Structure 1
Amino acid sequence: MAEHLSLHQLELFCAVVEHGSYVETARHLMMTQPALSLQVKSLQTALGTQLFERRGNRLVLTETGQITYEFARNLLALEDQLRSTVDDFMHADHGSLSIGSSRPFGRYFIPFVVCEYVQAFENVDVSVVYKDTETIYNQVLNRILDVGVVTSDEAVPVPPGLQSTRLRHDHWCLVSSAERPWTEPRRIDKALFQRAPLVTAVSHSTHWKLIQKILNRLGIHAGDYTVRLRMEDLESIKVVVQRGLGIAFLPYTAVQQELANSQLVEFPFPDGHPPLNCVIVTLDNNRSRPIVQRFVEFLLERFPRSLDLGEPK
């Protein structure tokens, strides 16, 4: 019967690799060198291979030693993750929480929600970053982020392995400064885009992919419009449009105040506003930490899915 490996042996083996010698490793771990050597020899016996070879005064990994080191680091990382996850279940109101948000929701709502959350859960260390939707999907999948709060559309599908829950509903508006000549007639057609240049998102962004889909549905193609300026931030796009440099597609959440006080005017869509949903994305339920599940519940309580375009209650 094959001899079982121990995590302790793997941990000592990795320490030898990382310190470069038995002497330095033994000193660092405050153990005797013979005891350390014995543990590594036992690991070699269990695996049936030589893990190190000497080249002069240097201790070098063999080919199987390198493979063993890579697997050992992964196994030790899994042990750390297991301990952390169990600790999370035992203490769901302690720990860290990393949130990624796309700009529309992040700019207008996340700060208010996070303020309330950290007041309610003082022992949770919260960090928030703003990225495009696809980057957030990838980082949640790779456990760089715990949860994403993003604008979603079938143009940017949620990848397998993630769970998506709709948080609230928004919609797109096509807006302009009220003082520009292209505001009349206030109709969305090819003639509008021939009169008015487009101010929009950078070409690699999820925002631009969604805008392209809207343009295609309107029958507006690449040769029918001119992009005057591309910017990453929605607020910057809005400021440029207010200054009269062009027209822009922006979420209603981002422009509702300016529409209300007539700083901006809106062009009506022929078939109604294109929808823009905000969703919460996490790993599948069976892989999410309790602290993540609690934050999702907190968000859903703050923003009932029936809520449509209002401020947080």
Structure 2
Amino acid sequence: MKPFEYRRAHDVDGALSLMAENPGAVFLGGGTNLVDRMKLGVVNPRMVVDVSRLPLDEVDVHADGGVRIGATVRNSDLAAHPVIRSRYPMLARAILAGASGQLRNTATTAGNLMQATRCAYYQDVTTPCNKRDPGSGCSAVDGYVRYHAIFGASDQCIAVHPSDMAVALTALDAVVVVRDMDGEHRIPITEFYRLPGDQPERDTVLAPEQLITAVELPASVSAARSTYVKTRDRASFAFALVSVAVDVKLENGIIADARIALGGVAHRPWRAYKTEDILRGSPPTEETFRQAATAELVDATPQAGNAFKVPMARGVMVSALRSITTDGATR
């Protein structure tokens, strides 16, 4: 690891000032991703601004039923919060599906969202990688692609976003709250992450000097049923091959509303809008579920080494939908 300057911010304005005064500086939350990349030589910041102790560690329930999650709330604390467990069980399950207990005790809400897209070639500084070194090429193309994208990839990058929590937040229509020198801004999470295009080094729309301060959840619909299902190579401490966050509202035996997001399939959490459109107004039957899942996967463009993700994604979506719409199923 190369030498760097460490500064601890005591308030949001101070953190923003340090970033403005030191181009190339980076924010540090729990450090579970950033420090690893620094050790590998993937990133070499001249300054690290520690924001982990900012007073942003509360989960506040609004009068309208919505929830504001502070940026420095630890993942373990969020998953265990009684309001999250009761109103947003999908989110709690997604968090618990990620990493290990030790990492969840350290990782923060904002840090989880800002994880770098994972790829073995990105983390290996001896190989070309457009994300790490723009213009150098993508080693994953025609390489090892078991974990890589089947949606939204470009010839510049085919890696996928690693966060489980972000998939659930995408299905929940969460909003990311950020601060900069111009004040506070709100970005729908569906607009927060980027597809690689010709700038794969940019995972999000955030500017370097912008700081995430919170994530806001809309009021939960009490009649909705939700879950998070993750398929992976081992039972824990592994990234998703395919994951799905599903939230469904049933009325009089018909699917009145549905929100679905996929993980492990794209550079960002993939909102399954085609699946949702077919589900709304339809009966919760096996035939409906398969038709809806298939419609989303028609546009998938897998590589030779990850074509299995297409039938896997279909199966995971159908299974998740079946599990939460069966008579007697609970949130």
* TM-score exceeds 0.5: no
Q: Give the helix-richer structure, 1 or 2.
A: 1
Bigger CA radius of gyration: 1
Question: TM (normalized to structure 1)?
Answer: 0.22
